[in-house]
Structure 1
Amino acid sequence: MSVPQIKIPATYMRGGTSKGVFFKLDDLPEAARMPGAARDSLLLRVIGSPDPYGKHTDGMGGATSSTSKAVILSRSSKADHDVDYIFGQVAIDSPFIDWSGNCGNLSAAVGSFAISNGLVDKDRIPEDGICTVRIWQGNIGKTIIARVPITNGEVQETGDFVLDGVTFPAAEVQIEFLNPAADEGEDGGAMFPTGNLVDELEVPGIGRIKATLINAGIPTIFVNAADIGYSGTELQGAINGNEKALNRFEAIRAHGALKMGLINNIEQAAVRQHTPKVAFVAPPKGYVSSSGKEVAATDIDLLVRALSMGKLHHAMMGTAAVAIGTAAAIPGTLVNLAAGGEAREAVRFGHPSGTLKVGAAAEKVDGEWTVTKAIMSRSARVLMEGWVRIPGDCF
């Protein structure tokens, strides 16, 4: 006899250029409230993975890295924080969830969800104005500050803030990532795990290429577009339909992960798909974005294209934007050199969907670079709320 479906309270939200299924920890079945196989199996079934057809027809996922995501929140166990937040990047065609990193885009929705779902004390929510939500990001052990607009005591979601990569305008949410670089002793070591601003990677089939390897926001490997045969103006179609190109990027990612100390051997890269990211940079150049919007060279400081879960991202991952802003602020990195080589506190870069500005405060302390914060503006919106249903025996 078949086991009937169960229903779990859930909210489907967009944050930045991503969307995912949000849960309160206490609403999950007891077996899924702790990390482990039960939780992963439940979330895989919610999203609809693994799907050999690559469509997520039987789940809430959108069959892209930007839309195959799950978020779990609870009241914070940390002092001076409101909410604990963990993020799972759900693979599309394999039974795997990567918990190794954060999603910067969905971080923009965490504050709004926390306020609307009683995870922020009412005396901290103004009748009108900005509610500052203090978030503990459990995947990476970092603090995120979300400044959420409030109108009549409730989260304001509508507005005129336009974010390239998102179709409709919404209310602006400012996100501040505090001390976003890795600390000594953390996974992968310091902000520059090799101690160098620029390294050389020896990648089979490609040869020796320059790379900036940085742990800020999310571990990221930056290479020069010209060194791998690109201009930096590419859109998704130029890369995502080219299996040879995708395999080359995965080789760069795997060898960069090994040099960063994130894996012990190349084979381990296959089970660490969410991190590190790989991106390529180039000096400013005009192009037409995926929406048809013209981006002039004078509109931007540099070009950046980044891959997530093996595909070129349609815009830019929020955590990778933190890495871009941080690297741009440090003279001598490939990102900084592509932007002209000057010291800067903010950078506007061109991505496939348009442009994005990110600020970062970096300084050298005792000969080592450190970054105290990175700031960007995103938006967030509830798309649907209620219950998600899954077979009762799937976890």
Structure 2
Amino acid sequence: MSNIEPFEIPSIPSERLALLKQKLQNAEYPNELEKDVGWTYGAPRWAVEPLVKAWLNEYDWEKARAEMNQWHHYQITAQGLRVHFIHEPSDKPNAIPLLLLNGWPSNFYEYHKVIQPLRDGANGGQAFHVVIPSLPGYGFSEAPKLPGYGVAKNGEIMAELMTTIGYNEYVVHGSDWGSTIGKWIAMERSSHCKGYHTVMPLCPPPLPTPSFLFSHPVKVAKFLASTVLGFDPVYGQGVVKLKGKSFADVQNDRDSGYRAIQATRPYTLAYGLSDSPVGLLAWMLEKFHNWTYHPSGNVETQALPETVTTEEFLTQVTIYWLTNTMSSSTRLYYEAFNEAEMMKVFMGSVTIPMAAAYFPGELSKFPREWLEASGNLVQYNEPDVGGHFPALEVPDVLVDDVRRFGKSLKAKKHL
């Protein structure tokens, strides 16, 4: 336990804060078309500039810092890297250790609304010992210095974190990359990980392999029919949401261009995102706009949905800027794209109990029967609201789903 040291979210050094203010004050915006083209060319100036001004004139890092420092932060050395994490143990005797993993372009702050309700188990809900790390190269965790820190290496580090804290049995929840890393942990550390909850599950279709033909012949037949007739006639309207045919199929998915860049040439992009806070903000804003669910339906006229405040978004941006981790966070795309382990995780099966919650604004969606064929799916839910960041957008809905899963694991004595 001597490896674990307390950590505090720092203030912004005065010289660095002055530099930020100077860059924001003297921002040079790109030229645009005279015609309003909405978000089709990327983040428009009318959406970016007000947030830049809010960051310059209104945003208070010390207020956000005070909120974050109400929780217990620590650092630990795992696989040679200093890893930051929040650890909020519950005082409830039946609490379950829970590892919450985020992805890009988010960080640990994505979960700031769910820490207390998950920890305290109010109103008879299942309580959890909440652990929220910063992935290596994200936020306040040290960035890897060598190649190879993809999904598998991140999974090893996160699993080591949990056992070092003292949790030999736990549940993992993941969004975005956290879902993929969480699946690796569920597959490769099943002696410790006893449940896997995800909002962005990855699985293969029921291909006509000997195993699938024997165990799921009807599912295989339906999938083969969908390759001829299309997804909607076979599975139902909107049941399958797959825009592209590959990781960066920009011909069929115009939103996948960032993946192509970050998975092949992350260094070159990183100069602009590291040096320009306005560029950093705009790059993140496009994703927080496109990947969230807009309850009002005003997608084209809103920068952010009503469920994500300007302050919350700017806290995410400031964490990236303060720690200069946008460059190291995007390298995860390169590592995952170039590692064989990524395909192994995608094609692999989860044997421990698994829960999936598909929110309407999620980027992709597979049929429930695909998940059932590739994993031990014991809970499935399709909420009416929420997007790619449900812990930020609809925290109550996510908390309820995680609680139900945890309660079922207790009832069936998996933990």
> Normalising to structure 2: TM-score of the pair?
0.29
Q: Bigger radius of gyration, 1 or 2?
A: 2
After TM superposition, the score normalised by the length of structure 1 is 0.30
Q: In proportion to residue count, which structure has more strand?
A: 1
